[in-house]
Amino acid sequence: MKRVAVWACLALVAGSCAARAQIVEDGSEAVLGRADTRTVLDLVGQRFRALDPKVTALRRADGPWVCGSVNVKNRDDLYTGERGFVVDLSNAFFGRVPDGPELLSPRAAGFEAMERIRQLYFQKCLD
């Protein structure tokens, strides 16, 4: 019975850790501070639970906005390449910049939301 309880505790701890990106790969979290970095990593982890996200290039934009890049694994367990993202710390909004093929059809489900994320990234994150 003790073994079951120990394994249940370990599973609970592992499950809570899997929901967040663990670290920022390049040390860029120093510009945000601990609390804002934790918020960003939690939002990335919620979206990309099991895809082993790697976060880099964190930087502040205007107001509560944070920009960065995230790299996640695909079904073949290979990293797909970094893609930008935006976070609004004031309302816990996270959006990863859509890939080109995702924006081919304006009639596709979620097109408007993806286009909004793309525009936000262009406005807030590109110099």
Q: What is the pLDDT of residues 4-45, one digit of tens each?
A: 443 434 344 444 444 445 789 999 999 999 999 999 999 999
Cα 59 to Cα 44: distance, rounded to the nearest angstrom:
15
Q: Quick: pLDDT tens for 58-98.
A: 999 999 999 999 999 999 999 999 999 999 999 999 999 99
Confidence check: pLDDT of 103 > 90: no
105-116 average pLDDT score: 90
Which H or E run contains 33?
Answer: none
> What is the number of residues in the chain?
127
94-109 average pLDDT score: 88
pTM of the model: 0.80
pLDDT score at 12: 41
Within the chain, residue ranges assigned H as helices are 2-18, 34-47, 111-125
Query: Within 10 Å of residue 27's Cβ, how many Cβ atoms?
Result: 10
pLDDT score at 106: 86
